[in-house]
Chains A and B, each alone.
Chain A
Amino acid sequence: MSIFIVSKISIRFGHMRYVKENRERRKRTSYLPWRSAEVCENIKEELGKPYTQVIPKSTVKRISETNPIQHSLSDIGKFYTISEEHKKKYFQLNGFPKDFSEQTTIFNENAIMIRKPALEIIEYLKNADYTKLPIKYVISMHLHKYGRKEANISETRNGLVDLPLEGALLLKHFQLQNETLLNKLNLKTTKEYVWNQRESTKVGEPLMALVNHGLNRVRYSCDCIHGLINELKNAAINGQIKFLVAIGGFNSFYAGKTMIRMDEKYGTTTDQISIFQSFLSTLQNDWCNGAIIMTVCESTTLPKYRGSPLPFFLLRREGFETLDPFIPIQVSKLSELEFHSLLDYYEDRRWLQKIGARDELEFISCRIPAELSRYCATL
């Protein structure tokens, strides 16, 4: 034991001699600091200088044309703004993704970059033959999610579950978007709807009465949606209107499990939800004068169904067969032009504080927009 200690000390002394010899050399390199000293020095160095805001070098490419129908392929990568009036009218309750609506308040404007998939759909819609069956377009994006909600058993349709609050929100969204159009067209109900012994909507009443009933009596909102969709389908067949159905996160219809609690159990599946069933009725090939646009995204399904952005993987066999045939539209990653114009916009709005690191950002994010915004959030 004693021998061991002595040997250790001798090594130590030897080391001290070595340090003495190299003391001069170590003095010279002492400005290279160790970790905690490095932090102190870093803070002092930064705060020694007065703060100046970063000024962007390049300007944003903007376009004054706000109507997306007028945009052409040469406008890809440019930004157009939606006015506050239009935003209030069309996107008050729903429509924008959560992240985007958060950014509009930060940037103090509603700017959208023109990209290829949107132009592609608009061109298809312009040139389609509306006398034939509705064409289905599937995009990979997402808009809506559902979680734990209030739920009731449906009285009119057996074995189905109503989501009254969700239904009322959907009706309100429909009302805000289409009120002026419906008043102008003067559509009327073709069927009598009996809600209970006292309340009913008779034949020949305006279509807005059906929507208002769903909003006033939230309990019947899901049945109102079912009636409304059937009425609109009939009007489209008669040629009174052109009917566009837009569904975000369509693959959530086939997710299977839900977090809805009925009788203190989590047993309900997505097939049992009445709103989904009434939307599925629009996919049947029994009407014309319309189109269906839907998006498919990984984040709307359960974690076990994630892993690939392709439609067959997300919709699974059941969903794919109900949709087939459809036109798939891929939202690819940003091109080099789009990438630079997006970063220009971030710098203009002072969201990106570190200028001159574009090569690294491009390398890390692989020009995937979600990844890019995640990295830019802290810089």
Chain B
Amino acid sequence: MPLQKIIRNFRHILNKRSYSQYAKSFIRPIIKESDIQNITESKKINVLKNLNVKPPQNWESSSILNEVVLLKFTNYIMRDGKREIALTQLKKALEIIKKIQVEQYNKTTDEEERKQIILDPIRIVKQAVANCQPLLKLCPIRRGGSVYQVPVPISDTESVFRAMKWIVESSKEKEGPTPFALKLAHELLDASKNKGRVIKKKIELHRICEANRAYAHFRWG
């Protein structure tokens, strides 16, 4: 092996910073008020009592406006590091979702129909992301001079990434002069009901994976 290749293989070790402001024994803080209450009641508190705790990050707070899923979602909407614009777009989409759902709620008179409507917009976002998560992905692997699309199982974090990316992409694709926030809102609403183009995309990927099932053993070759 040439020296250059060796260095390339170990680059992630060489370039990694091995120091930190805090020692490894420090744990991350617990931020949500409900989590703190749960932990103080349980036995875990005896372990945590004697550990050192880091201060919270800049983006972490116990505020009601702070939601982890939304913070993650803005990263995929964002362009050129303009986080504020991305956040306002997402908030507009949430508002549109709530307008549609609340209007439907107030206009229906039947009690049982009313109870089935989901009014919380953040719940709808979570439902939509969960419905769009794929189970497999296609990996190009070279065997015997030709490249095969091999189905490979996907980790939880990556499938969430795929789902969010697809939702954002498909709301950018739509035709017409309608604003991005409106498209995003309708895409999220559709996905939460297991409809729409993102769900179609997921089903098609699963179908190709099923067709390429014969290549699955190339993963270990």
Binding site for B on A (CB under 8 A): 5, 8-9, 11-12, 15, 18-19, 22, 25-26, 28-29, 32, 35-40, 42-44, 46-47, 51, 53-54, 102, 105-108, 349-351, 353-354, 357, 360-361, 364, 375, 377-379
> Chain B residues with Cβ under 8 A from A108's Cβ?
103, 106-107
Q: Does B134 contact A (CB under 8 A)?
A: no
Residue interface mask B1-44, A partner, CB < 8 A = 1? 00000000000011010100000110110100000000000000
| Secondary structure class of chain B's binding surface, majority of residues | helix
Assess whether B18 is in contact with A349, with CB atoms less than 8 Å apart: no
Please tell me which one of the listed residues A5, A38, A47, A377 contacts residue B68 in the complex, with CB atoms under 8 A apart.
A38
Q: How far is the CB of A48 from chain B (nearest CB, A)?
A: 11
Assess whether A357 is in contact with B98, with CB atoms less than 8 Å apart: no
Expressed in whole angstroms, the Cα–Cα distance for A233 and B98 within the complex equals 48
Please tell me which one of the listed residues B95, B119, B160 contacts residue A353 in the complex, with CB atoms under 8 A apart.
B119
Q: How far is the CB of B6 from chain A (nearest CB, A)?
A: 11
Assess whether B27 is in contact with A39, with CB atoms less than 8 Å apart: no
Expressed in whole angstroms, the Cα–Cα distance for A40 and B14 within the complex equals 31
Q: Which of B47, B51, B102, B130 gathers the greatest number of chain A CB atoms within 10 Å?
A: B102
Please tell me which one of the listed residues A19, A40, A357 contacts residue B24 in the complex, with CB atoms under 8 A apart.
A19
Residue of B nearest to A107 (CB): B106
> Chain A residues with Cβ under 8 A from B47's Cβ?
28
Q: Does B195 contact A (CB under 8 A)?
A: no
Q: Which of A43, A357, A375, A377 gathers the greatest number of chain B CB atoms within 10 Å?
A: A43
Q: Does B129 contact A (CB under 8 A)?
A: yes
Q: Does B79 contact A (CB under 8 A)?
A: no
Assess whether A378 is in contact with B94, with CB atoms less than 8 Å apart: yes
> Chain A residues with Cβ under 8 A from B127's Cβ?
47
Assess whether A35 is in contact with B103, with CB atoms less than 8 Å apart: no
Q: How far is the CB of A277 from chain B (nearest CB, A)?
A: 37
* Interface size of B in residues (CB-CB distance below 8 Å): 42
Assess whether B157 is in contact with A106, with CB atoms less than 8 Å apart: no
Residue of B nearest to A14 (CB): B18
Q: Does B219 contact A (CB under 8 A)?
A: no
Given A106-B106, A108-B103, A47 contacting B126 (CB threshold 8 A): yes
Given A349-B102, A377-B91, A29 contacting B13 (CB threshold 8 A): no
Assess whether B24 is in contact with A350, with CB atoms less than 8 Å apart: no
Residue interface mask B32-67, A partner, CB < 8 A = 1? 000000000000000100010000000000011100
- Known A38-B68, A46-B123, A53-B119; further 19 A-B contacts with Cβ < 8 A: A9-B14, A12-B18, A22-B25, A29-B27, A32-B28, A36-B72, A36-B160, A39-B157, A40-B160, A43-B129, A51-B123, A54-B120, A106-B106, A107-B102, A108-B106, A349-B102, A351-B98, A360-B64, A379-B64
Please tell me which one of the listed residues B14, B103, B156, B160 contacts residue A8 in the complex, with CB atoms under 8 A apart.
B14
Assess whether B65 is in contact with A375, with CB atoms less than 8 Å apart: yes
Q: Which of B129-169 contact A (CB under 8 A)?
A: 129-130, 156-157, 160-161
